[in-house]
């Protein structure tokens, strides 16, 4: 009889754990809209990404409220009623905007260019964007990590930049509060390249590289090759930025981190020596991992490469 009670208690504990896990992973359908004015300082690719980001922010704010920071206090405002509630909930950041939800998966995106008359004469071009997808409310704190791009590898504070000239090298600083697994991708001109793990690393790093807590990493740097066991200087890929003949190129870098090991997306070989996939397949892979793993985190870094002028 005593054994039956133990089995019953154990079964109830499993059910409670599963219920808690399912609640944490529950997603809802969301939708948002945005409109971006095209001006001379933007390239087309940049405007499209801005429109998608702003539409996602609109969708998350509609579902979970707008985040307002006043002094040392953070409030969530219902954008319909205007009511503000003080909160200690961990926030997410999209395009430098704090939101109380996490975008999980994109289901449909539509864009339309619209010409509008200016109040004082003339015309201006706007990009209208509507997006639909799934999202999850943020209730638990994510792992805190810092990451930024650099154009030199000897001083992170002085080398930090998002603006590159062609022929400059790309480096990355990364530091996390908890140990975990890291992978880095970059989307450029309709192709997603995997930058890390490097193509010739040991097979144990096929999916992602392990990173230690509170250790600063300088990535894509040959002289910093010894972070990972069994690595050699010859394995390190150092990346030189180019514009592909254009005056300016806008790239987006995806930094993927999780405390749990994850599987890489399906990749193909490329003439650059890197592994690649399509933006559509990559976004599907991100969405699938976000849906099943609340610890799966993605941070985007937008960089601009400008043609070098002699």
Is the pLDDT at 3 greater than 70, yes or no?
A: no
Number of folded domains in the chain?
A: 2
Q: Model confidence at 118, in pLDDT bands (50, 70, 90)?
A: confident
Is residue 290 domain-shared with residue 207, that is, in the same domain?
Answer: yes
Q: For all residues of the chain together, what is the average pLDDT?
A: 82
What is the distance of C-alpha 12 from the center of its chain? 37
pLDDT of residue 84: 45
Is the pLDDT at 305 greater than 90, yes or no?
A: yes
pLDDT of residue 212: 97
Is the pLDDT at 18 greater than 70, yes or no?
A: no
Is residue 127 domain-shared with residue 163, that is, in the same domain?
Answer: no
Is residue 102 domain-shared with residue 205, that is, in the same domain?
Answer: no
Alpha helices by DSSP H, listed for the chain, are 2-25, 44-64, 156-159, 279-292
Is residue 53 domain-shared with residue 115, that is, in the same domain?
Answer: yes
Is the pLDDT at 119 greater than 60, yes or no?
A: yes
Nearest to 114 by CA among 123, 101, 103, 104: 123
Question: pTM of this prediction?
Answer: 0.72
Residue where a domain terminates, one of 119, 137, 155: 137
For residue 195, tell me if it sits in a domain. yes
Q: Model confidence at 35, in pLDDT bands (50, 70, 90)?
A: very high
The radius of gyration computed from the CA coordinates of the chain, to the nearest angstrom, equals: 22
pLDDT of residue 255: 97
pLDDT of residue 140: 66
Is residue 51 domain-shared with residue 153, that is, in the same domain?
Answer: no
Is residue 112 domain-shared with residue 166, that is, in the same domain?
Answer: no
Strand pairing of 248-258 and 297-306? Answer: antiparallel
How many Å apart are CA 158 and CA 111, to the nearest integer? 39
Q: Model confidence at 23, in pLDDT bands (50, 70, 90)?
A: very low
| Strand-by-strand arrangement of the 28-37 sheet | 28-37, 123-137, 101-117
Question: What is the H or E stretch that residue 281 is in?
Answer: helix 279-292
How many Å apart are CA 209 and CA 237, to the nearest integer? 14
Tokens of 127: 């990009």
Question: What is the domain extent for residue 41?
Answer: 28-137
Higher pLDDT, 205 or 291: 205
pLDDT tens-digit readout, 50-59: 899 899 989 9
Is residue 205 domain-shared with residue 104, that is, in the same domain?
Answer: no
Give 299: exposed, middle or buried? Use CB within 10 Å, 0-12, 13-18, 19+: middle
Is the pLDDT at 93 greater than 70, yes or no?
A: no
Tokens of 33: 């809209």
For residue 237, tell me if it sits in a domain. yes
CA angle (101, 86, 76) in 5-degree steps: 35
pLDDT of residue 293: 86
pLDDT of residue 213: 97
Sign of the dihedral through C-alpha 11, 14, 16, 19:
negative
For residue 18, tell me if it sits in a domain. no
Is residue 208 domain-shared with residue 114, that is, in the same domain?
Answer: no
Is the pLDDT at 2 greater than 50, yes or no?
A: no
pLDDT tens-digit readout, 238-269: 999 998 888 888 899 999 999 999 999 999 99
What is the distance of C-alpha 226 from the center of its chain? 26
pLDDT of residue 194: 97
pLDDT of residue 214: 97
Is residue 130 domain-shared with residue 268, that is, in the same domain?
Answer: no
Residue where a domain terminates, one of 137, 168, 185: 137
Distances (CA, A) of 171 to 41, 78, 240, 254, 292: 25, 41, 9, 14, 31
Is residue 149 domain-shared with residue 296, that is, in the same domain?
Answer: yes
Is the pLDDT at 7 greater than 60, yes or no?
A: no
Share of the chain above pLDDT 90, in %: 50
pLDDT of residue 164: 96
Is residue 133 domain-shared with residue 175, that is, in the same domain?
Answer: no
pLDDT tens-digit readout, 62-88: 888 876 444 434 344 444 455 544 444
Higher pLDDT, 310 or 79: 310
Is residue 178 domain-shared with residue 268, that is, in the same domain?
Answer: yes
pLDDT of residue 97: 63
pLDDT of residue 281: 95
Q: Model confidence at 25, in pLDDT bands (50, 70, 90)?
A: low
Q: Residue 78, Cβ neighbours under 10 Å: how many?
A: 14
């Amino acid at each position: 009889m005593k054994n039956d009670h133990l089995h019953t208690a154990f079964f109830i504990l499993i059910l409670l754990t599963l219920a808690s896990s399912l609640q944490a992973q529950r997603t809802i359908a969301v939708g948002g809209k945005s409109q971006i004015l095209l001006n001379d300082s933007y390239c087309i690719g940049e405007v499209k990404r801005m429109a998608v980001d702003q539409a996602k922010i609109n969708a998350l704010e509609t579902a979970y409220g707008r985040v307002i920071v006043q002094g040392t206090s953070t409030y969530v405002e219902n954008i319909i009623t205007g009511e503000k509630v003080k909160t200690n909930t961990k926030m997410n950041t999209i395009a430098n905007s704090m939101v109380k939800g996490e975008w999980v998966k994109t289901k449909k995106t539509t864009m339309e260019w619209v010409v509008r008359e200016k109040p004082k004469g003339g015309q201006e071009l706007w990009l209208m964007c509507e997006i639909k997808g799934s999202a999850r409310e943020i209730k638990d704190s994510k792992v805190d990590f810092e990451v930024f791009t650099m154009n030199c590898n000897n001083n992170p504070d002085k080398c930090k930049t998002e603006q590159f000239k062609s022929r400059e090298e790309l480096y990355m600083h990364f530091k996390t509060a908890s140990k975990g697994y890291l992978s880095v991708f970059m989307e450029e001109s309709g192709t997603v390249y995997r930058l890390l793990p490097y193509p010739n690393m040991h097979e144990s790093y096929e999916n992602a590289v392990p990173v230690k807590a509170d250790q600063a990493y300088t990535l894509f740097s040959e002289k910093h090759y010894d972070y990972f066991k069994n690595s050699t200087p010859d394995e390190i890929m150092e990346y030189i930025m180019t514009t592909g003949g254009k005056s300016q190129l806008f790239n987006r870098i995806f930094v993927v981190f999780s405390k749990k090991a994850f599987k890489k997306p399906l990749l193909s070989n490329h003439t650059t020596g890197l592994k690649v996939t399509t933006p559509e397949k990559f976004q599907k892979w991100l969405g699938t991992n976000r849906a099943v793993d609340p610890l799966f985190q993605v941070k985007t870094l937008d960089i601009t490469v400008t043609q070098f002028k002699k």
